[in-house]
Amino acid sequence: SVPMVRDRLADFQDDSGEVFEEVEMECIGNFEMRMEEALELVKNLSDVIDNLKEKQQQILSLPIVEPRHKDELESAILAIREKTNQLRPRVQELEDEMAMQMRNNASETQMRIKRNQVDMLRGKMKKILISFNDSQVEYKESIAKRVKRSLQAAGENMTEGEIDQMLESHSTQVFYREISPLSIAGKLALEDASARHNELLDLEKSLAILQEMFEDMHNMVQAQDQMVTKIEKDVEETVVHTEQAAKHIKQAVVYKHAATRKKILCIIMIIAIVIILIAALIV
């Protein structure tokens, strides 16, 4: 009956090992699948941002901006907002899963692979956000320059400072209060400046929403990165403490064996002395 118990125990250990490997492989598969989804969303986000840049460059080249062009611009900005909202929870899931597996003492090799993948994802996101911000700053500056040229054409005697002050206004009515062009060309220039300024104000509102979303995502990634780093440090400290404890236990076992040997030697010596004394008495 004892061999049967031992055989069953061995079978149970083998089964447990297989179950653990299956669970571990399933976790790896889920992580890889989520990573692929996140990378696909990052690519989609990059594509819609490129589409927005193309629309903006097209608008800058047009002498007159029609309502449909503005609608296309708004649609592109809305697409960026939607892709960003889809991406945020995916990144959160990957970060949470990696942190959970670190707490569960996943293998160092697997954690290094996952950490590299998450770092790559972060790098792609950061590159996209920087590119987006730079392009929008450039676009706003281009519109502002065109508005300034139109205002200069409409109001011949205006100074640079007066034009800058008008551009900082959040209302185009100031254009008509400050400028009263007499020529048809001047009136057309003023209308163009007003239309472009309205476009700039609308763009700033939309970009402010996107900027807030991007900042939230950046802060989320930063917070998750700090948490993962802390978990890594805790795991490393736990490993060090475990190794030290194992070393102390090993030393204790050595000391115990040495003490046992000394005790046995003492007993043997005592027995030998007793035997010698008994032999001496008999003689």
Average pLDDT over residues 160-177: 63
pLDDT at 47: 92
Q: What percent of the chain is predicted at pLDDT more than 90?
A: 1
- The domain tally of the chain equals 1
Please, where are the H alpha helices in 168-283? Answer: 173-178, 184-282
**Which of 39-43, 84-88, 176-180, 270-274 shows the lowest per-residue confidence on average (mean pLDDT)?**
176-180
Query: Containing domain of residue 108, as a range?
Result: 2-282
Q: Quick one: which of 124, 110, 112, 108 has its CA closest to 39?
A: 124
Q: Quick one: which of 232, 83, 202, 47 has its CA closest to 139?
A: 202
Rounded to 10 degrees, the C-alpha dihedral 29/31/32/33 comes to 80
Q: Which amino acid is at 20?
A: F
Q: How confident is the model at residue 224 (pLDDT cuts 50, 70, 90)?
A: low
Find the distance separating the first CA and the last CA of the chain, reported in whole Å: 57
Q: How far is CA 95 from the centre of its chain?
A: 8
Q: Say yes or no to pLDDT of 196 above 60.
A: yes
pLDDT at 2: 44
State the CATH number of the domain containing residue 214: 1.20.58.70
DSSP 8-state symbol, 170: S
d(CA 229, CA 219): 15
Q: 3-state DSSP call for residue 171?
A: coil
Q: How confident is the model at residue 170 (pLDDT cuts 50, 70, 90)?
A: low
The answer to whether the Cα torsion of 273, 279, 281, 283 is positive or negative is negative
Q: Of the spans 143-147, 186-190, 243-247, which averages the highest pLDDT?
A: 143-147
Average pLDDT over residues 71-77: 84
How many Cα atoms occupy the beta-carbon half-sphere of 242 within 13 Å? Answer: 7
Q: 3-state DSSP call for residue 138?
A: helix
Q: How confident is the model at residue 198 (pLDDT cuts 50, 70, 90)?
A: confident
Q: Say yes or no to pLDDT of 34 above 80.
A: yes
pLDDT at 23: 47
Average pLDDT over residues 153-180: 62
CA distances from 177 to 181, 190, 281 (A): 11, 11, 135
d(CA 213, CA 85): 8
Q: Taking all residues of the chain, what is their mean pLDDT, rounded to a whole number?
A: 72
Please state the pTM of the whole predicted model: 0.58
Average pLDDT over residues 79-88: 83
